[in-house]
Amino acid sequence: MEFLRPATWDEALAAKAEHPTALPISGGTDVMVEMNFDVHRPSAILDLNRITELAEWSGDGETVRLGAAVPYARIIEELSGPLPGLALAAHTVGSPQIRNRGSVGGNLGAASPAGDSHPALLAAGRDVFVEAESVRGSRLIPIDEFYLGVKRNGLEPDELIRAVRIPVADGPQQFSKIGTRNAMVIAVCAFGFALHPKDGTVGTGIGSAAPTPRRAVEAEEYLRGVLAERGLWESGELLGPEVVRRFGELVKAAASPIDDVRGTAAYRRHALAVMARRTLTWCWNDYRKQIRSAA
């Protein structure tokens, strides 16, 4: 097995072009486990750890450009303000050791339906893009087009993830995850939710309840409609139990979970509805507080 250690991003792209089957390694918290379990026997490993810019993020007030290798621990510490949903998701990942190493780039590279970043990224809006690059050039893959199947993503064999572009939150965001223990657990299912008062939309993301992370499109549409029709964005009135319940039902309907060792499909659907209702309620309460204190 070859071990490639490019010192710069350009060298990394060149190496990936030359060895398209080389397996990139960032934090290694997925790669090493899978190698240990004999899932992969890659011809080469492409170590990205020397490329310092991958572990940096920048922001212009509207968008955060999150380097692929920024570890979860730093997302929690440095980005809870602009990316509250992702930071909450980061909190739930593994243990302190894993949060010190694991990254969103790695989560996207692995594209597991149980990855915790995904629901938060989906909920963060339609303008989330994975910045993929190769020697052929750079392109922005919309997050909705990134997840192709169980552990399959939209990268070309010669491409690497440079960063993820995520709009700065313009409203409250929440993330909830079910695990059968209180820490260090792969999601049985997870849900991300965000209010986007600027354009009057809402964002959702479902984790571990379908072959890929996915959005609850009908639930988003329903809620967007209700908020607009009833002038709730402006009034900040209570949503009422019927709206919350209906939203939960639509989220539940958007999932297509399976029975596995981590949980039953029926439980996943049930839990998604509960999480959807709760996260919506928390966000809406926060939003109401915000507009009332602004008034």
Ligand X SMILES: Cc1cc2nc3c(=O)[nH]c(=O)nc-3n(C[C@H](O)[C@H](O)[C@H](O)COP(=O)(O)OP(=O)(O)OC[C@H]3O[C@@H](n4cnc5c(N)ncnc54)[C@H](O)[C@@H]3O)c2cc1C
Q: Which residues bind ligand X (CB under 6 A)?
A: 23-31, 33, 48, 68, 92-94, 98, 101-103, 105-107, 109-110, 115-116, 160-161, 186
Q: With binding defined as CB under 8 A, does residue 292 bind other proteins?
A: no
* Minimum distance of ligand X from residue 170's CB (angstroms): 25
Name the residue nearer to ligand X (CB basis): 33 or 228. 33
Q: With binding defined as CB under 8 A, does residue 176 bind other proteins?
A: yes
Q: Figure out which of the listed residues 61, 261, 293, 295 binds other proteins, where binding follows CB under 8 A.
A: 261
Residue 103 interacts with, from ligand X, other proteins, none (CB under 5-8 Å by kind): ligand X
Q: What is the CA radius of gyration of the chain?
A: 19
Name, in order, each residue with C-beta under 8 angstroms of 235's C-beta and a sequence gap of 6 or more.
Answer: none
Q: Figure out which of the listed residues 128, 178, 219, 254 binds other proteins, where binding follows CB under 8 A.
A: 178
CB 189 within 8 A of CB 119: no
CB 79 within 8 A of CB 64: yes
Distance CA 167, CA 89 (A): 16
Distance CA 104, CA 237 (A): 36
The CB density around residue 62, as the number of other CB atoms within 10 Å, is 11
Name the residue nearer to other proteins (CB basis): 270 or 288. 270
User: In 3-state terms, what secondary structure has residue 207?
Assistant: strand
* Minimum distance of other proteins from residue 262's CB (angstroms): 7
Angle between helices 265-294 and 241-254 (to 10 degrees): 140
Q: Would strands 160-167 and 173-178 be described as parallel, antiparallel, or unpaired?
A: unpaired
Q: Figure out which of the listed residues 26, 92, 117, 212 binds other proteins, where binding follows CB under 8 A.
A: 92
Q: Figure out which of the listed residues 48, 54, 275, 283 binds other proteins, where binding follows CB under 8 A.
A: 275
Q: Figure out which of the listed residues 139, 236, 282, 286 binds other proteins, where binding follows CB under 8 A.
A: 282
